[in-house]
């Protein structure tokens, strides 16, 4: 049976399908973890430790020995995405109540969901699309996008907009595994390769653990809001990214639209942030469901829109050299 191949036909499938399975477990057998105990309970409730190991391994994969063109392109996209996410969060703080919307078609929408969906680009999707519609340097720009992985930038944005106050030790605790992995990976290329092998296999595990905190009734009630949030990510981040790519990054906007997605790893951010700021815990289930839906919507639409933009801008479509100059860092979901 080719289970993995079928799972990967779903955009973000390695994350989303285990997440759905976990949600089924939560909905129909909410006490399964307590009943079985031991290691089974660890898999069901172990979101934070699993993510800690994944975050460490992700840091180890990043190699910043890149050309100036790659760093300029990736830096432009990264900074633009973060500025837009900050602005969107600032606006959301004035429009949405602290506990999020609880009624209507947009029920479940909260500041936490907006921040988590806006500030992380699906680097793997970006690299795959730009190999076809861009240059090698543009495809390699995912090198800095991996820095977005994890809760650090979401925490910075929420702190800068006044939504939450994080103690310095919490910032250190959130980024320390990533920095240690990053240091080891750049000190020893064999360690980078060794830890890098763990990045993909861990995705289904934390996807399942995240799902075990979501009741499917929440997904059913927040489906429309999640779709709207995904479309909002493409429009709100896509337009500034296109302009930044054209006028700062030296491109024609194709890389900008290719970067206007929500990373699958962003699904974990509401849970992680709520562990540090308990006031967010009531909105975590809805925020997680919304971000997962936004991830799926953007994963489907962004490649289509990128192809349309590439044709509109007159860029020749061809199969690019898969060699990305030894850059191994990428967003994996």
Domain ranges in the chain? 3-312
* pLDDT tens digits, 188-241: 989 999 998 988 888 888 778 878 877 777 667 667 899 999 999 999 999 999
Mean pLDDT in residue range 253-257: 92
The upper half-sphere exposure of residue 4, i.e. CA atoms within 13 Å in the direction of its Cβ, equals: 4
In which residue are the tokens 């129909």 written?
28
| Stated pTM of the model | 0.74
What is the CATH topology of the domain spanning 3-312? Answer: Na+/H+ antiporter like fold (1.20.1530)
The Cα 130–Cα 307 span in angstroms is: 10
* Residue bearing the bigger pLDDT, 22 or 66: 22
Residue 141 sits at the vertex; the CA angle it makes with 329 and 70, to the nearest 5 degrees, is 110
Q: Is the dihedral of CA 159, 89, 217, 299 positive or negative?
A: negative
Residue 166 backbone zone (phi > 0: left; psi -120 to 50: alpha; other: beta): beta
* pLDDT tens digits, 123-159: 767 877 887 788 766 766 666 676 676 677 888 899 8
* H/E run at residue 141: none
The Cα 25–Cα 32 span in angstroms is: 8
């Amino acid at each position: 049976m080719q289970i993995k191949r079928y799972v990967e036909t779903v955009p973000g499938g390695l994350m989303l399908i285990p997440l759905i399975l976990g949600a089924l477990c939560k909905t129909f057998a909410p006490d399964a973890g307590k009943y079985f105990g031991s290691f089974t309970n660890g898999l069901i409730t172990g979101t934070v430790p699993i993510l800690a190991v994944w975050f460490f391994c992700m840091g180890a994969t990043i190699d910043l020995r890149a050309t100036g063109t790659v760093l300029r392109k990736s830096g432009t996209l990264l900074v633009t995405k973060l500025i837009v996410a900050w602005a969107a969060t600032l606006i959301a703080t004035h429009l949405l109540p602290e506990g999020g919307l609880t009624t209507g078609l947009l029920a479940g929408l909260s500041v936490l969901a907006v921040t988590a969906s806006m500030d992380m680009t699906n680097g793997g999707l970006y690299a795959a699309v730009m190999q076809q519609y861009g240059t090698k340097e543009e495809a390699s720009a995912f090198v800095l996008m991996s820095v977005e992985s994890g809760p650090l930038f979401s925490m910075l944005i929420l702190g800068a907009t006044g939504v939450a106050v994080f103690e310095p030790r919490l910032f250190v605790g959130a980024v320390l595994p990533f920095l240690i992995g990053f240091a080891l990976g750049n000190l020893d290329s064999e360690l980078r390769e060794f830890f890098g092998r763990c990045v993909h296999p861990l995705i289904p595990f934390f996807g399942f653990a995240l799902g075990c905190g979501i009741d499917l009734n929440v997904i059913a009630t927040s489906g429309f809001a999640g779709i709207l949030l995904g479309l909002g990510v493409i429009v709100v981040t896509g337009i500034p990214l296109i302009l930044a790519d054209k006028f700062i990054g030296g491109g024609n906007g194709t890389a900008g639209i290719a970067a206007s997605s929500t990373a699958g790893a962003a699904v974990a951010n509401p849970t992680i942030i709520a562990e540090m700021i308990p006031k967010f815990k009531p909105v975590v289930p809805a925020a997680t469901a919304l971000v997962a839906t936004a991830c799926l919507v953007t994963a489907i639409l962004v490649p289509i829109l990128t192809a349309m933009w590439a044709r509109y801008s007159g860029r020749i479509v061809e199969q690019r050299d898969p060699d990305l100059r030894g850059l191994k860092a990428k967003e994996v979901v």
